[in-house]
Structure 1
Amino acid sequence: MKSQITTHVLDTAAGRPAQGIQVSLQTEGETGWQEIAAGTTDADGRVTELGPDRLEVGTYRIEFATGAWFEASGTPSFFPSISLTFNVTASGEHYHVPLLLSPFAYSTYRGS
């Protein structure tokens, strides 16, 4: 079974999945952001097991360790990390949060 939150990272500069990026799923708590799950993108650039299969309605974010990933390949980059903050508005509904990445830009959208 997939987690309620999944992600997929594509390296648009290289035209391939971004394998090996560390990913952290966090929830907003009273004392700030707290990690509730972590993973690493697979050979297809995906993390399909990121957290529980059911989350409460609330604000979450996914933190991508992009700087370390680019550094490991010797590629200069601008963003040491990328944080995508989003709202879970329906408990039990699937949320796919992809990241399109290059060394000096990124974009995202709500996927399916």
Structure 2
Amino acid sequence: MEPESSPLTTHVLDTASGLPARGLRLHLSRLEDLSQQWTELKKSYTDLDGRCPGLLRPGQMKPGTYKLSFETQGYWKERGQESFYPYIEVVFTITKETQKFHVPLLLSPWSYTTYRGS
């Protein structure tokens, strides 16, 4: 389960198996307004439940554009599976730092879906 204090969470489901995508490497970055460069905030892996707890600490989130990059090629390769997408980037905007945001990813070797969760 995600820590209650984390304002940003993600969960990855391997829809090909119907199971959580555990051990999937991901990076969280924020686009800096002035330089228009991505600043990496966190590198992590999904846990046994396909979740990545504690992406941001309380007070670390501010309004802006963020990106979650999922390294899907390595995930599928470890499972002996060919895949179409070597990585998936989900770019989203946070307007209120006081809200909680959940970014789920439904993943197969040939497609993916994401949405703003609750």
Q: Same fold (TM over 0.5)?
A: yes
Q: What residue identity is the alignment partner of 2:37? A: G
- What is the alpha-carbon distance in structure 2 between the residues aligned to residue 43 and residue 64 of structure 1? 16
Deviations 1:31-56 (A, max 9, x none): 52111112110110001211222311
Matched residues, number = 112
What CA distance in whole angstroms lies between the structure 1 residues aligned with 2:44 and 2:57?
12
Aligned equivalents of 2:116, 2:83: Cα separation in 1: 25
Q: Where do 4+ consecutive residues of structure 1 move more than 3 Å?
A: none
TM-fit CA distance, 1:91: 0.8
- Contact preservation (8 Å) 1:39, 1:49: no
Q: What is the SS of the residue equivalent to 2:22?
A: coil
Q: Is 2:23 the counterpart of 1:23?
A: no
Distance 2:103 2:117 in 1: 6
Identity %: 43
Equivalent residues of 1:38, 1:51 under 8 A apart: no
Report the Cα distance in structure 2 between the residues aligned to 1:95 and 1:6, rounded to whole angstroms: 6
For 1:84 and 1:38, locate their aligned partners in 2 and report how far apart those are by CA, in whole Å.
Answer: 15
Higher strand share: 1
Q: Is the 8 A contact 1:9 1:101 kept in 2?
A: yes
CA distance in 2 between partners of 1:106 and 1:53 (Å):
29
Matched, 1:97 2:100: no
User: Which residue of 2 is the match for residue 12 of structure 1?
Assistant: 15
Structure 1 portions without partners, runs of 5+: none
Matches within 5 A, 1:61-80: 61-80=67-86
Segments of 5+ residues of structure 2 without an aligned counterpart are none
